Chain A
Amino acid sequence: MSVTLKVNGGTHTVDVDASTPLLYVLRNDIGAVGPHFGCGLGQCGACTVIINGAAVRSCVTPCSAVKGEITTLEGLAKNGALHPVQKAWIEEQVPQCGFCQNGQILNAKVLLDRHPNPTDAEIREGMNSTLCRCMTYFRVQTAIKRAAVLLRAAGPESEKGGAA
């Protein structure tokens, strides 16, 4: 069937089976390769995208079920400027191999949208189902706190960050 998706400000129509996971359509048809395949089960967060302000696991989301605008990691920067979460990630040198960081960054972004000044407990709980096998968790948590500071310093406009 024909499926139309809005991704990072663009509109794409693809002819695929309605049940095709959004992840494969993004990666193989649209060329948005920020989201990664990690488990195909919605357990690890590698495939996270943002839809209507929520972190969505695209590996278990049928592409035909998506109605809102999709933001992937590539769409987080605006007008060439990195999102404060991304800036904090570089300043803290968070990634090790980096393969899971799409999930860490986008889930952190959504967490900060909901908790602009998160407590340690909110960070641990909010990020707990986003996995990393290099075990960068400690500095992910540090970077989230740094990003919260950067977001507050940048003011409400930046806080909205990205298209999501």
Chain B
Amino acid sequence: MSPKLSRRMFLAESGMLVVSVGALSASNPFAAVANAQTPGQYPDPDFRELDSWIVIHQDNTATFHVGKTDCGQGTGTAFRQMMSDELDIAYDKTTCIMGSTDNTVDQGGSGGSDAIQTDGWPMRRVAAEARRVLLEMAAAQFAVPVSALAVRDAVITVKADSSKRVTYGELIGGKRFHVALTGRNVDATTGVASVKAVQDLRFVGQPLPRYDIPAKVDGSQKWAVDVKLPGMVHARNVKPPQAGATLVSIDESSVRSLPGFVKVVSKGNYVAVVCEREEQAVAAARRLKVDWQKPATAPFPASDDLFTFMRAATPTSAQAPVVQGNLDAALAGAVKVVEAEYDVPFQGHTAFAPAHALADPSNGQMTIYSNDMKSYGMRNGVAEFLGMPREQVRVVWTEGPQGYGRTAADDAGFEAAYLAKEIGRPVRVQWMRNEETGWDTKGPAFAFKLRGGLDAKGNLVALDYSARAADYNHVGYNEADTVLIAQLMGVRKARPAAGSAGTPTELYEIPNRRLTSDVVSLPLAFETPLRTGNLRDPNGPQIAFASESFIDELAAAANADPVEFRLRLLTAGTTEDSGFKRARSIAVIKAAAEAYGWSPRTSPKPRDTGTILTGRGMAYAIRSQTVVAEIAEVEVNRQTGHVWVKRLVCAHDCGLVINPLGTRRSIEGGMLHSLSRALHEEVTFDTEKTTGVDWITHPSLRHADVPARIDVVLVNGDPKPDRPDLPHYGAGETICKPLIAAVANAIYDATGVRLRRVPFRDARVLAALKAARV
């Protein structure tokens, strides 16, 4: 056994120990993992070795090691279903280890809704390869050809003589495969074996319950926030009180006599206080006297003036326009031209638990316990940031609050590592609520302008789309030169990321089109709480809000039913597209309409006479290969402006569904997250700082907002729905795209008032209703 594997297996086993330790045990459940930081390097598990992926145990069970993290969508359960099927082992005889950099291959952690669509394939192929190798071993043992063998539930039998049987555990339990795989990168990893036909999969397609849920319900789950290490201390940040403020001086005497005080650490504009106990660090960070110099010019306009500023700004970059036909001529010849502008503010991740991490600097190495969804990237970034060899750094991925992209969990990991190196003791960093809500990365604000031309028959013959995003210096994941601590220390990326605005993904057939998009910068591009980063289908919800609201405006102008209008634009297409997305678009729109009970008519409907106005709206979108149509039914209170989304319908086609229960749950959560963005969420700021800093000043969806009914229809709109190679696409982020538009369209249907500015808070809706004399 090589030192590399023995280390990996030891860690794998100690990782499993964590699960079995009682929650109230006086012993430290993480001691085993923590003590594993002995001198020596942390290897990179080699994706070209079968042993990096699958371990068969003597008791005929299997452990799958995958380079992914799960932010709550149940992907671990889905991976086990896929790999159990290909390996031919019962699902409940398997376990899955995810996300830690030294005992799983680097599959990038989470991101891009690609866990099933991309990373599921190498998992299936390596499990199929393990099955092939085991069958060959059995064939040699029984001196028969492989074709004479049958395998089920990890037991291989000779077909002609069922007394001849051997288990996977007997063949290789506790030993290594020593089988090389091939592939130019981890996504392409493969052995010799082929994957099974869809029809031969037993666990895939079943609504199996998630294996991680019981521990999250009985309190035994160990989260990243629960890791305790001997000698650990607690840190709290002291952030600049105004965006762009410069540190002048720190009066350490203001906290030196406080109980448990360890140290004030500062460099550039980064300031943290470290104390022995958590509550001491909280108190010291509040008490520390720091002199800051306000910036000479305002870092940004107030949020009320944001869109005026953006529309007047000079772009920092522009994406190449997409041009089709002759837009100007088509608009000039149109019978009716419709124009509209739409605004979407900055919206945050505002994770339920503020960012946190614990870093252990012992033995000249660095272990970071983090829930960051890209643990592998954090390892590389922290090594670069601290100037340490990456072999000396590892990230132990441990569960945490939801991650929908580039969250502040990245920042906290770097801060903990930096402070741990400075102090020489394990340091736990925990952001406070105001930091998380105020300083987390934001989804960019958007200002749109659209024009559309209809011919005499009400056909859409011209579309002019232009999008502008406040997205300059968009921060990447775990980058040593863009994480917040680096920026505050004065690090400046040589070429800040240009950012992007983006264009719609729908497959409407419009003969004359021009799609343009550009990016603008706010005055302060660095060290700003309005830094942008990927947020759950980056840009998709904003773009779909504008484009799918506008399609409804055009349908109304054409006196057409909104569903019929969309189907007309889709069926007009004749070119085929990858993955039959047009056919699948038609299928999901029809499925959503059918599930809702949609009867064709134009919007708005004749206005109700009472206080409550009701209406319905639909929108559809594509991300990658997944197609989604959503319908919202709303009640609008004419006197208060309050919007209640009473019912939601989603028709969703992600190809082969691995776990329909998990998919439905993800769809429900994704729609309600977008509903929160539609109704409540906006990052507010004055000309110095963000002013939404908690759940009162930055509201989020609550129990009282929840629809009375949610219908989810899983659609297989493939032209050959039973084909044995039906692909599995990424189910997640597409869900978030169309919902804001569906709600806006429903409000229009109910009231005849078009809301073109997100979010649809009571006061904004009421003002719009009053302006329209509703």
**CB pair B694 A140 closer than 8 Å:** no
Say whether A125 faces chain B, with CB atoms less than 8 Å apart.
yes
Given contacts A39-B694, A39-B695, contact A97 B71 (CB under 8 A): yes
What's the nearest-Cβ distance from chain A to residue B667, in Å? 11
Query: Which residues in window 641-668 of B have CB below 8 A to A?
Result: 661, 665-666, 668
Interface residue from B210, B279, B676 paired with A17 (Cβ < 8 Å): B279
Cα of A61 to Cα of B702 in the assembled complex, Å = 23
Chain B residue at minimal CB-CB distance from A99:
B401
Cβ proximity bits B672-713 to A, threshold 8 Å, 1 near / 0 not = 110110000000000000000011100011111111101000
Say whether A54 faces chain B, with CB atoms less than 8 Å apart.
no
Q: What are the residues of chain A within 8 A of B216 when measuring CB–CB?
A: 95, 98, 101
**CB pair A28 B278 closer than 8 Å:** yes
**CB pair B352 A38 closer than 8 Å:** yes
Q: What are the residues of chain A within 8 A of B1 when measuring CB–CB?
A: none
Say whether A156 faces chain B, with CB atoms less than 8 Å apart.
no
Say whether B277 faces chain A, with CB atoms less than 8 Å apart.
yes
What's the nearest-Cβ distance from chain B to residue A103, in Å? 10
Interface residue from B72, B661, B710 paired with A134 (Cβ < 8 Å): B72
Say whether A8 faces chain B, with CB atoms less than 8 Å apart.
yes
Say whether A100 faces chain B, with CB atoms less than 8 Å apart.
yes
**CB pair A97 B213 closer than 8 Å:** no
Given contacts A74-B218, A133-B350, contact A139 B702 (CB under 8 A): no
Interface residue from B209, B217, B702 paired with A82 (Cβ < 8 Å): B217
Q: What are the residues of chain A within 8 A of B226 when measuring CB–CB?
A: 27, 33
Chain A residue at minimal CB-CB distance from B675:
A135
Chain A CB count within 10 A is highest, among B222, B226, B354, B433, for B433
Interface residue from B209, B212, B676, B704 paired with A135 (Cβ < 8 Å): B676
**CB pair A98 B221 closer than 8 Å:** yes
Interface residue from A19, A98, A129, A139 paired with B212 (Cβ < 8 Å): A98
**CB pair B209 A93 closer than 8 Å:** yes
Cα of A67 to Cα of B278 in the assembled complex, Å = 23
Cβ proximity bits A36-50 to B, threshold 8 Å, 1 near / 0 not = 111111011010000
**CB pair A95 B72 closer than 8 Å:** yes
**CB pair A98 B399 closer than 8 Å:** yes
Q: Which listed segment binds A: B22-30, B261-269, B523-531, B542-550?
A: B22-30
Interface residue from A8, A19, A43, A135 paired with B672 (Cβ < 8 Å): A135
Given contacts A37-B225, A99-B223, contact A138 B672 (CB under 8 A): yes
Query: Which residues in window 251-287 of B have CB below 8 A to A?
Result: 259, 277-279, 282
**CB pair A8 B668 closer than 8 Å:** no
Interface residue from B72, B217, B259, B279 paired with A90 (Cβ < 8 Å): B217
Given contacts A41-B694, A138-B668, contact A127 B217 (CB under 8 A): no
Say whether B242 faces chain A, with CB atoms less than 8 Å apart.
no
Q: What are the residues of chain B within 8 A of A34 when measuring CB–CB?
A: 23, 219
Say whether B375 faces chain A, with CB atoms less than 8 Å apart.
no
Interface size class of A (residues with CB under 8 A): 35 or more
**CB pair B277 A139 closer than 8 Å:** no
Say whether B432 faces chain A, with CB atoms less than 8 Å apart.
yes
Q: What are the residues of chain A within 8 A of B214 when measuring CB–CB?
A: 90
Interface size class of B (residues with CB under 8 A): 35 or more
Q: What are the residues of chain A within 8 A of B700 when measuring CB–CB?
A: 131, 133
**CB pair A8 B352 closer than 8 Å:** no
Cα of A105 to Cα of B669 in the assembled complex, Å = 18
Query: Which residues in window 99-139 of A have CB below 8 A to B?
Result: 99-102, 105, 120, 123-125, 127-139
Given contacts A33-B226, A125-B704, A131-B695, contact A40 B676 (CB under 8 A): no
What's the nearest-Cβ distance from chain B to residue A46, in Å? 7
What number of A-B contacts does a CB cutoff of 8 Å give? 180
Cα of A34 to Cα of B24 in the assembled complex, Å = 9
**CB pair A74 B23 closer than 8 Å:** yes
Chain A residue at minimal CB-CB distance from B259:
A17
Interface residue from A36, A125, A134 paired with B669 (Cβ < 8 Å): A134
Q: What are the residues of chain B within 8 A of A58 when measuring CB–CB?
A: none
Say whether B541 faces chain A, with CB atoms less than 8 Å apart.
no
Cα of A24 to Cα of B283 in the assembled complex, Å = 13
Say whether B95 faces chain A, with CB atoms less than 8 Å apart.
no
Say whether B63 faces chain A, with CB atoms less than 8 Å apart.
no
Say whether A155 faces chain B, with CB atoms less than 8 Å apart.
no
Q: What are the residues of chain B within 8 A of A73 when measuring CB–CB?
A: 218-219
Query: Which residues in window 73-102 of A have CB below 8 A to B?
Result: 73-77, 82, 86, 89-90, 93-102
Interface of A is mostly: loop
Say whether A64 faces chain B, with CB atoms less than 8 Å apart.
no
Q: What are the residues of chain A within 8 A of B430 when measuring CB–CB?
A: 37
Say whether B402 faces chain A, with CB atoms less than 8 Å apart.
yes
Say whether B172 faces chain A, with CB atoms less than 8 Å apart.
no
What's the nearest-Cβ distance from chain B to residue A2, in Å? 15
Given contacts A41-B694, A137-B702, A138-B668, contact A97 B661 (CB under 8 A): no
Say whether B400 faces chain A, with CB atoms less than 8 Å apart.
yes
Chain A residue at minimal CB-CB distance from B221:
A98
Q: What are the residues of chain B within 8 A of A131 when measuring CB–CB?
A: 352, 695, 700, 702
Say whether B317 faces chain A, with CB atoms less than 8 Å apart.
no
Cα of A75 to Cα of B220 in the assembled complex, Å = 11
Q: What are the residues of chain B within 8 A of A17 when measuring CB–CB?
A: 259, 279
Chain B CB count within 10 A is highest, among A43, A89, A95, for A95
**CB pair B702 A128 closer than 8 Å:** yes
Cα of A41 to Cα of B23 in the assembled complex, Å = 25
**CB pair A93 B353 closer than 8 Å:** no
Say whether B351 faces chain A, with CB atoms less than 8 Å apart.
yes
Cα of A137 to Cα of B401 in the assembled complex, Å = 16
Cα of A96 to Cα of B704 in the assembled complex, Å = 19
Query: Which residues in window 10-45 of B have CB below 8 A to A?
Result: 23-26
**CB pair B669 A135 closer than 8 Å:** yes
Q: What are the residues of chain A within 8 A of B94 when measuring CB–CB?
A: none
What's the nearest-Cβ distance from chain A to residue B615, in Å? 21
**CB pair A105 B703 closer than 8 Å:** no
Cα of A46 to Cα of B228 in the assembled complex, Å = 20
Cβ proximity bits A46-62 to B, threshold 8 Å, 1 near / 0 not = 10000000000000000
Given contacts A33-B226, A135-B701, contact A93 B661 (CB under 8 A): yes
Q: What are the residues of chain B within 8 A of A105 when measuring CB–CB?
A: 217
**CB pair A140 B278 closer than 8 Å:** no
Residues of B within 8 A of A (CB): 23-26, 71-73, 209-210, 212-214, 216-223, 225-226, 228, 259, 277-279, 282, 350-354, 399-402, 430, 432-433, 661, 665-666, 668-673, 675-676, 694-696, 700-708, 710
5 extra interchain contacts, Cβ-Cβ under 8 A, other than A123-B703, A138-B707? A24-B278, A94-B213, A137-B701, A138-B668, A141-B706
* 10 interchain residue pairs of minimum CB distance: A97-B72, A98-B216, A135-B672, A73-B219, A74-B219, A96-B72, A34-B219, A133-B352, A39-B433, A99-B401
A-B contact pairs, 22 of them (CB 8 A): A17-B279, A33-B223, A34-B23, A34-B219, A36-B223, A41-B694, A74-B219, A74-B220, A75-B219, A82-B218, A93-B213, A95-B216, A95-B217, A98-B217, A124-B703, A124-B704, A133-B350, A133-B351, A133-B352, A133-B673, A135-B668, A138-B672
